[in-house]
Structure 1
Amino acid sequence: MVVGSINIDLTVAASPLPRPGETLTGSSFSTGLGGKGANQAVAAARAGATTTMVGAVGTDAFGSLALDALRADGVDVGRVQQVEGATGIAHIRVDARTGENTIVIVPEANGALTGPQVEEALRALAPSSPVVLLQLETPLEVTLATARACEELGLRLVLDPAPAAPLPDEVWAGVWLACPNETEAELLTGVKVTDVRSAERAARWFSERGVRQVVVTRGGRGTVVVGPGGTSDIPAFGVTPIDTTAAGDSFAGALGAAVAAGLAWPVALRRAAAAGALATTRVGASPSIPTAAEVDTYLRGR
């Protein structure tokens, strides 16, 4: 189950990106499904997991577009509310040369999701949803309710703490796995992540607050994993990035699906890393997320 945001992404590409006060001609524009929650739901579904989305969309045309896109990937949207007003929007600017992006999010309907609604969904779906994915693009009460319910029900909560924001310690006590990128890890812990050793120090901050496993993603420099079994440094797959949008969501969704499938931890991490890498080779958020078959093909060639 994925608890989180559902947006429609409005993406423009240009190189270089404009400076304040500057107008440039871009090279492309697209409209598609986004939001960290929806992206992770699509990633989990494409990785082969039976996936339910818990979130909210508006009654506008973008709300229907988002629901149709989720259904097209086999995501169960029975727990997605339609609330009066607008659907969440993300304005994404992508540097066409480097693939790096800047994003402005307007939450809209995502702000209507409540703690009690999420708790009810978790209790109803717990028997069939042992893994729950969560991000921070919904109200704090949703984060608190999800962590509390997962701890009570014994569900494995995977938290992608993005956009990074201070959280009460009670949230971390309910998190089974945290997967910040290096920037988010620094913002939350105060530890600047520059190498494996500093990534491990940042990861220990989460561990000290009750998180069982910590995965710090570092883009092209690989992933540092800290847990009961010690620390592992996993090299990155060598790809040429075109657009890094949703790479972290692809990683989190594929990892959640692999954990739910009972795959061995090293295998789960390798599949997640491959999914994240492949997502950077395509333009867009959910359109860039690979399927299980594509990950299989890619890993066979490594």
Structure 2
Amino acid sequence: MTPPIAAVVGQLARDLVLTVEAVPEGGAAADAGERREQLGGKGANQAVALAQFGVRPKLIAVAGDDTIGDVLLGQARADGIDTTGVVRRRGSLTGLIVEVLEADGTWRYLQHLPEPVLLTRRDVEAARALIEGAGAVVVQLQQPAEATLAAAGMGRQAGALIVLDGVPEESHLATADVIRADEQEAGLLLGGAATVDKARALLDKGPKLLALGVDDGNLFVWADGHLHLPLTTEKVVDTTGGGDAFTAALTAALLRGEDYPAAARWAVAASGATVGHPSGRPSLRTEELEKRVRELAGE
């Protein structure tokens, strides 16, 4: 059976993670206990997770024309990601995200993601064949709206499953099949804490499934049903990347033909598996996740 294809439209960056017992005060220094340098950014993280689920991801993103860009694209290809849709921006440094992670799980980001390493509509147009050939198009809405709307519109016209990650503008809603928003984003999207009634009103504008963060877990709402799933019980080391694994697992399950409740359980299980280690890079094993999914289903 040919694996499904997903086009992932989002950020690629060099991810540098430093763990410390506590962030030092100004004018002081602290030793890092662990250091990780790897392929990162929301787009790349989701593409890595999709590959681990057996989906063929095609990444549409921007890298600089520097050596770091060469290294990261090599890592992406080793991860099973098609990088033909990655633009190499001349004269630009590849994006950088520095995470400082304290022992209690508190994180701080320093990021250098200037305009040249963000997608433009022209970049998306250049990747039209990749988008139109995909079974799903996963779009991170942290990219400029002109680019994300173009990507979602192309995918919609081609009949792909459209998954939007973040807070969509009104113009995006009619293009979407699925919207994933974390708790903060859900508050912006719905004008307050997510409820079934508020979510149902948003469904009238186009989406078929909403996956919304709430204070005690996640709320999934569709036309004739809804499901609340609590957070998994794993020890949380670093919440970075939990949302990316969630979105990738949800997409992969829907591409496999899972119904909404089953896809929701896969999403929560993948997120729980990812927050147990430092950094946003996923390390997902289907056998382990199947056990978590059964537990979430009460089996």
Matches within 5 A, 1:7-18: 7-18=13-24
Matches within 5 A, 1:144-293: 144-161=149-166, 167-191=168-192, 193=193, 198-204=194-200, 206-218=202-214, 221-286=216-281, 288-293=282-287
Could you give the per-residue CA deviations for residues 255-285 of structure 1, whole angstroms, max 9, x where no partner exists?
A: 1111112222222211111111000111222
Aligned-residue offset at 1:135: 0.8
**Residues 5 and 110 in structure 1, CA contact (< 8 A), matched pair in contact too:** no
**Residues 56 and 109 in structure 1, CA contact (< 8 A), matched pair in contact too:** no
SS in structure 1 at match of 2:127: helix
Taking structure 1 as the reference length, the TM-score comes to: 0.86
Aligned-residue offset at 1:18: 4.2
Equivalent residue, structure 2, for 1:59: 65
Equivalent residue, structure 2, for 1:138: 143
Aligned-residue offset at 1:201: 4.9
SS in structure 1 at match of 2:153: helix
Matches within 5 A, 1:102-113: 102-108=108-114, 111-113=117-119
**Residues 11 and 118 in structure 2, CA contact (< 8 A), matched pair in contact too:** no
**Residues 147 and 172 in structure 1, CA contact (< 8 A), matched pair in contact too:** no
Taking structure 2 as the reference length, the TM-score comes to: 0.87
Q: 1:130 to 1:217 in 2, by over 3 A?
A: same
Aligned-residue offset at 1:236: 2.3
Aligned-residue offset at 1:125: 4.3
- Matched to 1:67, the amino acid is L
Identity %: 29
In 1: Cα distance, 2:108 partner to 2:198 partner:
24
SS in structure 2 at match of 1:132: strand
Equivalent residue, structure 1, for 2:3: none
Aligned-residue offset at 1:87: 0.5
Aligned-residue offset at 1:245: 1.1
Pick aligned residue for 1:74 from 80, 83, 88: 80
Aligned-residue offset at 1:144: 1.6
Q: Does 1:96 align with 2:106?
A: no
In 1: Cα distance, 2:51 partner to 2:84 partner:
15
SS in structure 2 at match of 1:240: coil
- What stretches of structure 1 of length at least 5 have no aligned partner? none
Aligned-residue offset at 1:301: 7.1
- Once structures 1 and 2 are overlaid, which stretch shifts more, 11-20 or 242-251? 11-20
Q: Does 1:295 align with 2:284?
A: no
Q: 1:117 to 1:237 in 2, by over 3 A?
A: same
SS in structure 1 at match of 2:56: coil
Higher RCO (C-alpha 8 Å, min separation 6): 1
Alignment length (residue pairs) = 289
Aligned-residue offset at 1:159: 1.0
Report the structure, 1 or 2, having the larger helix content: 1
- Matched to 2:239, the amino acid is T
**Residues 186 and 213 in structure 2, CA contact (< 8 A), matched pair in contact too:** no
- Matched to 2:93, the amino acid is A
In 2: Cα distance, 1:50 partner to 1:132 partner:
12
In 2: Cα distance, 1:206 partner to 1:93 partner:
36
What is the root-mean-square deviation in Å for CA atoms of aligned residues? 2.4
Aligned-residue offset at 1:13: 1.6
